[in-house]
Structure formats: structure tokens, C-alpha cells
Amino acid sequence: MFSLFTRKASSVPAESVQATPKKISFEDYLAITEVDYSIVGHSRIEDMPMSEFVAMMSSHKFLGDPLVRTQHLLGASKYERVSDTEVIGHHQIRAAHQRYTGPDRLTVENRGHGHSFIKHWYRKVDGVWKLSGLCPQVYWNEHNFEKIFVELKAEH
């Protein structure tokens, strides 16, 4: 469902090395520390363990809803080296969402596409770069975005 990219530490500066794609398990992905999804109905959480992040994102009220399909496309990306162990990634993103009327996904009930920017914080842990925080900023939505995550909206 989800694949991340890691890079082993080296003596070459981070900005001059291309990352080598390597799939890792969520069990290896323990560095989440700050999540701010308040823009889509969740609260800002300053210290969130990986297991809680995965549970939140895959919840039936959010991306785990069987009636919802999404595709997130990254556009321009820029990385800012803060220190030898911290990097901030700035990413342009377009997220297409469709909500279907039933589990057969034959009829689209609503579309909602977001145009946004997302900031990712990365931290080197035991020589491996890991995601340590994220915060999206939505510039605008198309169609009926507010009708995609209906159960999430009902709580807020």
C-alpha cells in the first residue's frame, strides 16, 4: 500500500546524493514525531508514534474507506538541509479523490481534487533517513472535496 525511500548515511553531503529506492516496512518506520492534518479534519499532534499515524491514515474514516480511491502526484520538490541529521522537504502535490456509491466502484458519487503544498521533515535515525513530521497546506480544491471523507467530517 505504501512505499518509502531511505538512504544510508554517507560522508557525501545529502544534497549531492540521489536517494536509492528501497521499500521498508512500517515496523522499520518509527520516526514519526509531528503530524498536522488539521486542514482535513484531524488535529495537530506533536508526538505521534508510527502505529498511530498508520491507524489514522488507514482508518475507514479516511484513506481506508473502501468507497474512496485516491492518487497523489508530486510535482516540484525542494530539499532544505537543516543539519547533518535534519532535512526539510517542500513538495507540490495534486491529490485526486473519488468517492463511489458502492464497493463495486462502478459509479462515482463525488470527486474532490486538492492542489497543495506539503512540508515533510526528515531525520536521520541510526544512519537511515526517516520521515519525522508533515504538514500540508491546501491552496484550493476542485469539485466536492468536502463530500469525500464523509465520516471524518461528521466528527468535526
In the predicted structure, residue 25 carries a pLDDT above the cut 80 = no
CA distances from 59 to 64, 83, 140 (A): 5, 34, 24
Q: Is 58 helix (H, G, I), strand (E, B) or coil?
A: helix
CA distance 69 to 1: 12
pLDDT the model gives residue 113: 94
113 flagged as catalytic: no
Residue 155 vs residue 38, higher pLDDT: 38
Active site residue 60: no
pLDDT for the residue numbered 33: 52
Q: Which backbone phi and psi does 60 adopt, to 5 degrees?
A: -65, -15
Q: CB under 8 Å to 107, separation ≥6 — which residues?
A: 100, 101
What is the identity of the amino acid at 26?
A: F
Judged against a pLDDT cut of 50, whether residue 10 lies above it is answered with: no
9 compared with 35, residue with greater pLDDT: 35
- At 44 the pLDDT is 60
DSSP 26: G
Would the pTM count as exceeding 0.75? no
Residue 25 three-state SS: coil
Helix (H, G, I), strand (E, B) or coil at 118: strand
Dihedral angle over CA of 102, 111, 59, 66, nearest 10: 20
Q: What is the pLDDT of residue 127?
A: 85
- Catalytic hit among 42, 72, 113, 156: 72
Q: Cell 486542514 appears where? A: 39
pLDDT digit string (tens) for 30-68? 444 556 555 555 556 666 777 777 888 888 888 889 999
* Residues 56 and 134 sit within 8 Å (Cβ to Cβ): no
Catalytic residue among 60, 90, 91, 97: 97
User: What is the tens place of the pLDDT at every residue in 68-114?
Assistant: 999 999 889 999 998 998 899 999 999 999 999 999 999 999 999 99
